[in-house]
Structures are given as structure tokens and as C-alpha cells.
């Protein structure tokens, strides 16, 4: 058993890797992801605006109720028969009225402020809603473009996968298993050369001397403790 076959296998598999990367880094993939995020962001923003609108609305309701209560108190005082009141009582009512009127003015301003806030939110909601519509439309367009590109590439990819299957037939199952395990961790190439005097050809980390010693035994392969790739020694 030697590692020649698995290196051949890897060469073919790297073509698949290249195809996957071309697809992943394509303009349509980038734009698809961009507009997917933009759509999501718009909907998050809309949710926030809805919450703000609800709380402003609640504020308006509360202040209108308080305003009505103040007005009720004012009309209570207005209906008192002042002819029976002495000066002290008249003074008390005058002060009460003044306080209530001040409070009514405050509430009036507060209601106006909250109403303005509501209409501002409404304008922002409309804008964001339009934006969400545009983003989701672009997302659909680029998703379709991406899917077409994927279909195009899948012809080539399927041919490569068939080649890989054929190569697997007379390959060492131990090496193949190792290969697939590292590949599943999204590390490719899986088999990387040992770089003299002491580095992993995948991640460039320095390898401990006991591992380097073991590279001289058997198949001449060792797992890199840092990146998990399989280091092989050509010599
Ligand atoms: Zn490594």
C-alpha cells in the first residue's frame, strides 16, 4: 500500500474543490447572500419600528386618558358655587385651576409630540418597507442566477464525482476514510507534503520531532496536530 493512489484521487478531488469555490465566490453567490442579509435586516428594522409605533401609540392613549381626567377635574371646580366660598377657598380653587391647566398644557404637548413621533415612524416604515421589497426582489433574481450557475457547474461536478467513485474502487479504505474525515472538516487539500526541516505543508506549523521521526515509518504519513491534515513525506 502506498499513498500514490490517494494523491491521484486528491488531484481529481481538488478539481471539485475548485468548482465549489468558483460557485461560492461567484458574483451571483455574493449578491444572493448580500440581498438575503439586506432583506433580513429590513424586516428586523420593520419589527423595531412596529414596536416603537406600538409604544408611542400606548403613550398617546395614556396621555389622552390623563388629559380627560384633568379636564374632568377642571369642570368639577368650574361647577362649584363660588358665591358661598370665602377668600381662602377661592384662593385654593384658583391655585388648583392654575395647576390643572398647566398639567393640561403639558399633556397636550406630550400628545402632540407622540403624534409627531408616530407620523415620523410611519414615514420610516413606508421607506423601509419599499427597501425590503427591493431587496427581496434582488434576492430572488440572484438566487435564480446562482441556481443556473450551479446547474451549469453540476455537469462538470458530476463527471468529477463519477471519476472519484471509480478511483475509490481500488483504493485503500483506511486512507480513503482518513481522507474523507479531513475533507468533512472542510480542509483541502487533505494530504500535504512535509516541508523540510520541520513544517506542515498545509498550515505551516512547526511539527514536533517525535512526529517527524514517525514520518519515516510505514506509509510515511502523520496527522498534523494543528490543522488535522495528513502530512506525507515524499522521500
Ligand atoms: Zn498543519
Q: What is the pLDDT of residues 150-180, one digit of tens each?
A: 999 999 999 999 999 999 998 889 899 999 9
Same structural domain, 160 and 181:
no
Same structural domain, 150 and 181:
no
Among candidates 74, 75, 76, 62, which has minimal Cα distance to 107?
62
Q: Which long-range contacts (CB under 8 A, 24 or more apart) does 7-11 make?
A: 7/191, 7/232, 8/167, 9/164, 9/167, 9/168, 9/171, 9/176, 9/179, 10/179, 10/189, 10/190, 10/191
Same structural domain, 34 and 102:
yes
CA of 231 to the centre of ligand 1 (A): 8
Can you give the residue range of the structural domain that contains 220? 177-232
CA of 188 to the centre of ligand 1 (A): 11
Same structural domain, 186 and 82:
no
Across all residues in the chain, what is the average pLDDT?
A: 94
Q: Is the pLDDT of residue 50 over 90?
A: yes
Whole-model pTM? Answer: 0.72
Same structural domain, 218 and 107:
no
Same structural domain, 167 and 182:
no
pLDDT band at 190 (very low <50, low <70, confident <90, very high): very high
Q: Is the pLDDT of residue 1 over 70?
A: no
Same structural domain, 55 and 162:
yes
Same structural domain, 97 and 205:
no
How many domains does the chain fold into?
2
Pairing of strands 221-223, 199-200: unpaired
Amino acid at each position: 500500500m502506498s499513498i500514490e493512489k490517494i494523491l491521484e484521487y486528491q488531484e481529481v478531488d481538488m478539481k471539485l474543490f475548485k468548482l465549489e469555490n468558483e460557485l461560492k465566490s461567484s458574483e451571483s453567490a455574493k449578491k444572493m447572500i448580500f440581498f438575503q442579509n439586506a432583506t433580513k435586516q429590513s424586516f428586523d428594522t420593520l419589527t423595531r419600528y412596529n414596536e416603537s409605533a406600538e409604544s408611542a401609540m400606548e403613550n398617546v392613549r395614556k396621555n389622552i386618558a390623563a388629559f380627560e381626567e384633568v379636564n374632568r377635574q377642571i369642570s368639577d371646580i368650574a361647577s362649584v358655587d363660588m358665591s358661598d366660598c370665602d377668600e381662602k377657598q377661592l384662593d385654593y380653587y384658583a391655585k388648583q385651576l392654575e395647576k390643572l391647566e398647566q398639567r393640561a398644557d403639558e399633556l397636550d404637548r406630550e400628545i402632540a409630540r407622540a403624534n409627531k413621533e408616530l407620523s415620523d415612524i410611519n414615514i420610516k416604515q413606508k421607506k423601509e418597507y419599499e427597501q425590503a421589497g427591493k431587496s427581496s426582489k434582488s434576492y430572488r433574481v440572484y438566487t435564480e442566477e446562482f441556481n443556473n450557475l450551479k446547474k451549469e457547474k453540476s455537469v462538470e461536478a458530476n463527471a468529477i464525482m463519477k471519476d472519484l467513485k471509480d478511483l475509490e474502487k481500488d483504493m485503500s479504505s483506511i486512507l480513503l476514510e482518513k481522507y474523507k474525515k479531513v475533507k468533512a472538516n472542510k480542509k483541502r487539500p487533505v494530504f500535504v507534503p512535509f516541508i523540510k526541516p520541520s513544517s506542515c505543508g498545509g498550515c505551516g506549523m512547526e511539527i514536533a520531532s517525535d512526529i517527524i521521526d514517525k514520518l519515516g515509518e510505514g506509509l510515511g504519513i502523520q496527522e498534523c496536530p494543528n490543522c488535522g491534515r495528513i502530512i506525507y513525506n515524499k522521500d
